[in-house]
Structure 1
Amino acid sequence: MKMQLKAGVAALTLAAATSFAADIRIDGFPDYDSQLNLITPSLTQHNVEMLMNNHGDHHNKLKTNLATGSGAGDVVLIDVGFIGSFVNAGGFVDLTDFYKDIAGNYADYAVQAGKGNDGKQYAVPVDLGPGVMYFRRDYMEDMGFDLDEVMTDWDTYLAYGEELKKKDILLIGNASAIAVAYYRFNVGKGEGLYFDVDGNSLVTSDRFVRAFELAKAVRDGGMDGNISEWTEDWYAGFREGKFATQMSGAWLLGHLQNWMAPETSGNWGVSHLPDGTYGTWGGSYLAIPQQAKNVSAAWDLIEHMISAENQLAGFKNIAAFPAHTGTYSDASFDEPIEFLRGQKARALWADVAANINPVTPMNGDLIAESLVNVALDKVLNDGVDIEKALSDAEKQIKRRVR
């Protein structure tokens, strides 16, 4: 799950010591410190310490810890974007026997993504990021547009952007989000994001070409602001109503209402993505490094964090959408959300989560993602031909991924 990042490291003891308690350290990134502060005092059989670092530094440190065989916590939090590379690089405890009796309680696509290429379970999902479209209601139904018609497919979505341009309203902050949504959410069965089942690159396939074409059409049509995400200009865009839509995970609601644009309450709604597309935009996993001193106690913490009760607590505390599908019948899913003009959006998020197909994680995902992002930047900002940009990216992927 994408979070607002906090600098520095915090280490806190969260449960009172007992003479029989095992010490457990969990390494992660904000805002999970807020969640852990709430739920771990109830894990009274262990002393739980947490080491929080910002998102990027946490994953860089973990990569080094796994490579050297020392320094990692007993439990580690892993962003979904890193799961394929980390799991298949080795260094984690096989959790298959711990998890097998309860795995059916969690979203299948997320469970599958936590498995290595050997089919064993090395990481378990703690939250999901159902991919949805946030839209400004004052630029949609209040202006006479029909949401269902706008979201019919990607062409009708872009046509909406052309109409908004006539009113000096941007469709989206940055066109790159459209490309990312398209190529992430239209993966073929049994494929990975960037590689097929045999490890061959897919980045020159029709899926990526179409994704880049959509983004380029928006950029060339002057329908985006070329505003980098997670910057002050982007936050201001939400507050000031500069753009009409934003693709994201369900978790964006927490950021919008809590700190990014609380004054825009009532102006937002959420919908499925164009063309009835289902996909995941974020999510987090828990794993136990092989260097952990007490695997049994580490699993106790994981099992505690992924329980239905604590999944719901995370949903309410930090807008972390539950991986535990048994929570979706909770009464809170039918509650109207004031910030979204009374929309019962949690039920929509649950529908997305229930219809996402598994995407096979691959060891080279991080490298491929970086090179595809570079290629997209060249297309949108430097005018490089789409097929050339993708072909160049594929050549580099083949050289760097073995």
Structure 2
Amino acid sequence: MRKSCVFALCALAASSAMAQKTVLTVAAFPAVDEIVKAALPEWNKKHPDVEVKVVSREYADHHTAMTTALAASSGLPDVMTIEYGFLGRFSQSGGLENLAAAPYSAQQFEKRFVPFAWAQARDERQGQTAMPTDIGPGAMFYRNDILEKAGVKPEQLTTSWTSFVEAGKAVKAKTGSYLVAHARDVKDIVIRTGIPAGEGIYYNAKGESVVGTAPRFKKAFALAKSIRDQGLDAKINAWSNDWGEGLKRGTITVQMMGAWLGGHLQNWLAPNTAGLWRSTTLPEGVATSWGGTFYAIPKKAQNKALAWDLIQYLTLNKAQQQAAFEKFNAFPALIEAQSGPFFDQPVPFLGNQKARVTWRDTALKIAPTRVFRNDPIAEEIVNAELDQVLTRGKSVDQALADAQRMIQRRAQR
């Protein structure tokens, strides 16, 4: 009888201890979910009484779920992971904590991050709505074996957009390989070039569309049309099966994306092409970003103090930031983490290039730009109008005028 009582008391005590354990919820998408999980053993040494539950969904499903949760002010996590493309919409929703205000006082950390990433998470009305954790310095990945076969030098790809196209013509003529997967890839780089301070890609400081007036859009559309007209793009969308096959088989010569693409090529997109790829800067020395990840705290979160503590560990701890880069190719937004032996090591997959040094140099040159709530809508409209130019012969001027009108109409709703 006594043994039974002791057992019952022990079970009750264990149950009570479990009941007292705080559960902190983190909503994330691949591979950020793995980064958080890998960081927890060290963070939990400070917080042994906290159980962190990582709710992982695929990229699109995650952001759809977070959009719904913010709109309903329910079902929100304690820590919300946000990819750059959704940052404007989520920041301006009014549903995220201002991390610049007390008790967070995040502004004291501003100088520790690359300026452009910090600026992306700052909204004029809502304040500093998120903390940057990783960034995507723009890079050009190219098949060195194809260039050698065509007798084209790598610098011909980067000197100017004119030489870029001419190099593509030589590659196509001598090897049959396409210069790029899709002409849209070139447009995406050019429209991010020379954005005035205080403006975004699609909107000026007043929130007005610049698609129909900014020269960079006309240049981008004209260049994309030239590439399509000369048969230099494979007409393949990124992340499609055909795109993956093109990268594996060498029918695509160049892919411009964030520096993180190198890890994707090595680990799952084209692992059989080790040593064939190289990385360099974008044409004309353009320094721009491609994606990036942020952590935010919803205003309806249940455990804000713990959420802030975890976010600080994930974003401000040098060792943690470096580990995320080394293990998961998450290029650190924290400047002090952009140093050390790992950055100077040659990358075997890229022919033993010291590519990380170039990526770091690019990251420090990227100018801050603003993000806006309707950026995804503007991007969708611009891409649709470019398709009209590329496939239906619509004039560049008319396409941009129509895009301008539609973007303004959507902004007024």
Could you say whether these structures have the same fold, taking a TM-score greater than 0.5 normalized by the shorter chain as the test?
Answer: yes
Pairing partner for 2:300 from 291, 301, 304? 291
> 1:143: Cα distance to partner?
4.3
Determine if contact 1:22/1:297 at 8 Å carries over to the other structure: no
> 1:33: Cα distance to partner?
2.2
Determine if contact 2:199/2:370 at 8 Å carries over to the other structure: yes
SS of residue paired to 1:299: helix
Q: Which residue of 2 aligns with 1:227?
A: 236
Q: Which residue of 2 aligns with 1:118?
A: 125
Q: Which residue of 1 aligns with 2:177?
A: 169
Task: Find the aligned partners of 1:360 and 1:21 in 2 and give their Cα distance.
Answer: 40
TM-score (norm: length of structure 1): 0.93
SS of residue paired to 2:338: helix
Q: Give the partner amino acid of 1:343.
A: Q
Q: Give the partner amino acid of 1:26.
A: V
Pairing partner for 1:59 from 54, 63, 81? 63
> 1:35: Cα distance to partner?
1.5
Q: Is 2:166 the partner of 1:159? A: yes
Task: Find the aligned partners of 1:187 and 1:136 in 2 and give their Cα distance.
Answer: 30
> 1:229: Cα distance to partner?
1.0
Question: Once structures 1 and 2 are overlaid, which stretch shifts more, 106-115 or 28-37?
Answer: 28-37
Q: Which residue of 1 aligns with 2:26?
A: 26
Q: Is 2:280 the partner of 1:271? A: yes
Q: Give the partner amino acid of 1:161.
A: G
Task: Find the aligned partners of 1:304 and 1:19 in 2 and give their Cα distance.
Answer: 26
Task: Find the aligned partners of 2:376 and 2:150 in 1 and give their Cα distance.
Answer: 41
In structure 2, the gaps of 5 or more residues are: 1-16
1:342-401 deviation line (CA, Å, top 9, x unaligned)? 000110010010000001112221211111111112111222111111111111111111
Q: Which residue of 2 aligns with 1:77?
A: 81
In angstroms, what is the RMSD of aligned CA positions?
1.5
Q: Which residue of 2 aligns with 1:203?
A: 211
Q: Is 2:400 the partner of 1:390? A: yes
Pairing partner for 2:341 from 315, 322, 331? 331
SS of residue paired to 1:140: helix
1:281-328 deviation line (CA, Å, top 9, x unaligned)? 111111000010111100111111112111111111211110011012
SS of residue paired to 1:184: coil
1:11-47 deviation line (CA, Å, top 9, x unaligned)? xxxxxx8787532111111112221221112221121
Q: Is 2:198 the partner of 1:194? A: no
SS of residue paired to 1:89: coil
Q: Which residue of 2 aligns with 1:90?
A: 94
The structure carrying a bigger helix percent of its residues is 2
Q: Give the partner amino acid of 2:118.
A: V
Task: Find the aligned partners of 2:229 and 2:381 in 1 and give their Cα distance.
Answer: 22
Task: Find the aligned partners of 1:170 and 1:315 in 2 and give their Cα distance.
Answer: 31
SS of residue paired to 2:127: coil
Task: Find the aligned partners of 1:189 and 1:105 in 2 and give their Cα distance.
Answer: 21
Number of residue equivalences:
386
SS of residue paired to 2:122: coil
> 1:198: Cα distance to partner?
1.1
Q: Give the partner amino acid of 1:32.
A: V
Task: Find the aligned partners of 1:78 and 1:191 in 2 and give their Cα distance.
Answer: 21
Task: Find the aligned partners of 2:342 and 2:223 in 1 and give their Cα distance.
Answer: 37
| Rg larger in structure | 2
| Identical-residue share of aligned pairs (%) | 37
Q: Is 2:236 the partner of 1:217? A: no
Q: Which residue of 2 aligns with 1:181?
A: 189
Q: Which residue of 2 aligns with 1:7?
A: none
